[in-house]
């Protein structure tokens, strides 16, 4: 798992060295390179389940967007904004805090005065998620809250503040499949009490190794050209189900709309199978 900044910095090195690069972190989309393959979600897969639920099931018409000021935060909310407006709702506010920022007071005040009936956030991982959510709850914000960057592990660390948050993920621990149950049992056996909750970052890393292995086996060698040619033709059945790469080097994924419970676990509200990543890299 790497940040968008790390990925972008590494791509010239990957190209120069001519080695396969399987990027396993969800990101803002449309990073294209002949050697790069992505097995994690992009905005086209993650945003619609939350927005559609808020509009169709909860009657939201006015959205407020809050993010961390970096590539992922802005990229995710840029897509969310366009999708919300395309769906017939409106944006009544869009504000960002620097990645290292922790005082969301002014933004929350603007949110409360905006008349918004839903809020969607995209922040820089754990600490901003925790501080923003704590401050939203402390300010009495109760409108539907969709978080584009939280996972079960982070939700558990938030405690009761996380209750009610809507998330959209390609992995939740409650997936009822033999592969997921076997994976969780093996992880528990190996790590015991030290096991951290598997999530949308760690599980694609695990699966990425096996996708590379499948490509090497199909190619019959580790030759870069042969492996790159094989990657769009192989699949792996893992905790998230069957994962394979498209010709545009991204993966169709089953997505889960979930809502966080007071204990930090996630209740699956709806399931969307085989969600296409859309037009990511049409020129590959």
Query: Helix (H, G, I), strand (E, B), or coil: what is residue 248?
Result: coil
Q: How confident is the model over 60-73, as pLDDT tens digits?
A: 999 999 999 998 99
Quick: pLDDT tens for 225-265.
Answer: 999 999 999 999 999 999 999 999 999 999 999 999 998 88
Looking at the predicted structure, is the pLDDT value of residue 2 above 80? no
Q: Is 251 helix (H, G, I), strand (E, B) or coil?
A: coil
3-state secondary structure of 174: coil
Domains 4-41+175-252 and 43-171+255-275 share a fold: yes
Helix, strand, or coil here: 209? helix
Tell me yes or no: is domain 43-171+255-275 CATH 3.40.50.2300.
yes
Architecture of the 4-41+175-252 domain: 3-Layer(aba) Sandwich (3.40)
What pLDDT is stored for residue 1 in this prediction?
59
CA distance 42 to 32: 13
pTM of the entire predicted model: 0.93
CB atoms within 10 A of CB 148: 25
Beta-strand ranges (E) seen in the chain are: 21-23, 36-38, 62-68, 90-97, 118-122, 145-147, 166-169, 235-238, 241-244, 253-260, 266-275
> Which pLDDT score, from 0 to 100, does residue 3 have?
80
With 70 as the cut, is the pLDDT of residue 24 above it?
yes
DSSP letter at 187 equals H
- What is the Cα–Cα distance from 274 to 140, expressed in whole angstroms? 37
The model's confidence at residue 202, banded by pLDDT at 50, 70 and 90, is: very high
Domain boundaries, the chain: 4-41+175-252, 43-171+255-275
Res. 18: pLDDT tops 90? yes
């Amino acid at each position: 798992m790497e940040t968008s900044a790390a990925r972008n910095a590494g791509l010239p090195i990957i190209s120069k060295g001519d080695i396969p690069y399987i990027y396993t972190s969800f990101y803002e989309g449309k990073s294209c390179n002949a050697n790069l393959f992505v097995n994690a979600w992009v905005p086209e897969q993650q945003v619609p389940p939350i927005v559609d639920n808020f509009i169709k099931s909860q009657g939201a018409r006015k959205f407020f967007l809050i993010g961390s000021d970096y590539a992922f935060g802005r990229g995710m909310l840029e897509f969310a904004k366009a999708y919300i407006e395309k769906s017939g709702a409106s944006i009544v506010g869009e504000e960002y805090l620097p990645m290292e920022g922790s005082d969301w007071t002014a933004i929350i005040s603007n949110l409360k005065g905006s008349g918004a009936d839903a809020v969607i956030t995209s922040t820089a991982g754990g600490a901003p998620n925790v501080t923003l959510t704590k401050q939203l709850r402390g300010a009495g914000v109760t409108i539907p809250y969709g978080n584009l960057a939280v996972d079960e592990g982070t939700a558990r660390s938030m405690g009761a503040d996380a209750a009610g948050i809507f998330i959209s993920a390609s992995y939740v621990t409650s997936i009822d499949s033999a592969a997921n149950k076997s994976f969780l049992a093996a992880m528990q056996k190996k790590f015991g009490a030290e096991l951290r909750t598997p999530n949308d970052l760690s599980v694609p890393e695990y699966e990425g190794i096996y996708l590379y292995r499948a490509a090497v086996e199909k190619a019959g060698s580790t030759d870069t050209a042969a492996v790159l040619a094989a990657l769009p033709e192989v699949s792996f059945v893992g905790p998230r189900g069957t994962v394979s790469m498209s010709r545009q080097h991204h993966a169709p994924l089953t997505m889960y709309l979930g809502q966080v419970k007071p204990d930090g676990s996630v209740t699956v509200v709806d399931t969307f199978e085989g969600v296409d990543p859309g037009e990511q890299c049409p020129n590959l």
